[in-house]
Amino acid sequence: MSRFCGAVAAGLFAALLGPMQAFSAEPVGQATLIRTEVTGEAGPLVVRSPVHRDERIRTSTSGLGQFVFKDGTKLAVGAGSTVVIDKFVYDDSDSVKRLSIKAAKGTFRWISGNSASSAYSIVTPAGTIGVRGTAFDFYVGPNGTTAIVLLNGSASFCGPGGCRQLRQQCDCVVATRGGRMTDPSQVDRRTLQTLSNPRALPFLSGDQQLSGALGGIRTSCGLASLRQDRQDRPQRQQRQEQPSPQAPQQAPQAPQAPQQTPQQAPDTPDKPDKPDHHHDWDHHDWDHHDWDHGGRDHHDRDHRGHDRDDDDHDRDGHNGHRSDN
């Protein structure tokens, strides 16, 4: 009985101590911006809330969190995301020997801090992102498919299918959990189609707005027009469904009967003076002119208003053809 009581007491103590240990762990950074709902191990986070090593951070379907680590590294966590601060090993200076995060799902933006490039690594279900003094966005889908878009510097992505190097601004690589990986190419709307998520890169398309240094990156890689296009499309469809007020539809009119020249009786000549002579008068056939109905043009009016969708002038992101915004 005493052993049972002791085991129960130990279990309760461990259950209570676990959250306290996580909360009391030395912080490795803090929140600089919180929108809607962002939670850590100890509950909801607010601006200036500390974040700790091994802490799991989650955002709601509309949530957004921005964080800065002690070496100056900045991380944005977009809507519907989950990330774990995996490893954080201090150096003697303002840099770190190791900073590693595990991104389980969602959308993120990363800007490197003061530490050596070799100190950083980002682990995703499809592979690992290697950092080279870099800023980039990356997305992890529900099935583990991962996309990375380089914003400046350089980066690498290594998975079961090998490694790819991203060296030019807006280079993008998409990799699956099974090892398939694309070559670096310019990100465009087809990338979002491949990811089956039009909001996979919300910081580039403008679906979520960042602040400070995280929001100070000037390029959208040609995706900024996508959000406006989604907003305009319902209005265009509504205009197309409504009939044009300038040309109301009219019921088709029956063809009119041809107008004919009214027949007139021939003038009656004066009767002869002598009634003993009987004259048979000639009856002249009056020509009836048939009107040519085939020559009457019937123009059907187009009662539909034609609204032409504005063409999206995004750059075509093929290999070897790159354009920076």
CA distance 144 to 200: 13
The full DSSP string for 241-306 is HSPPTTS---PPPPPPPPP-PPP-PPPPPPPPS-TTS--PPP-PPPPPPPP-STTS--PPP--S--
Q: How many other CB atoms are found less than 10 A from the CB of residue 81?
A: 24
Is residue 318 a part of any domain in this protein? no
Can you spell out the DSSP letters for 45-61?
A: --TT-EEETT-EEEE-T
Burial class (CB in 10 A: 0-12, 13-18, 19+), 9: exposed
107 belongs to a structural domain: yes
Q: What is the pTM of this model?
A: 0.66
CATH number of domain containing 62: 2.60.120.1440
Look at residue 112 and tell me if it is in a domain: yes
Could you give the CA distance from residue 15 to residue 227 in angstroms, rounded to a whole number? Answer: 46
pLDDT tens, 151-177? 999 999 999 989 999 999 999 999 999
* More reliable by pLDDT, 92 or 155: 155
Provide the 3-class DSSP secondary structure of residue 113: coil
Q: Express each pLDDT in 102-148 by its tens digit.
A: 999 999 999 999 999 999 999 999 999 999 889 999 999 999 999 99
User: Is 299 a domain residue?
Assistant: no
Is residue 209 a part of any domain in this protein?
Answer: yes
Distance CA(185)–CA(312), nearest Å, equals: 19
- Provide φ and ψ at 172, rounded to 5°: -135, 140
| 45/35 Cα distance (integer angstroms) | 10
Confidence of residue 92 (pLDDT cuts 50, 70, 90): confident
How far apart are alpha carbons 85 and 73 in whole angstroms?
Answer: 12
pLDDT band at 93 (very low <50, low <70, confident <90, very high): confident
pLDDT at position 254 is 56
Q: Say if residues 61 and 199 touch (Cβ distance below 8 Å).
A: no
In a domain, 298, yes or no: no
Per the structure, the complete domain to which residue 118 belongs is given by 21-238
Contacts of 46 (CB under 8 A, 6+ apart): 31, 34
Domain assignment present for residue 308? The answer is: no
Please state, in angstroms and rounded to a whole number, the distance separating the CA atoms of residues 15 and 218.
47
Q: What is the pLDDT of residues 226-252, one digit of tens each?
A: 766 666 555 555 656 665 555 555 555
In a domain, 294, yes or no: no
Total structural domains within the chain: 1
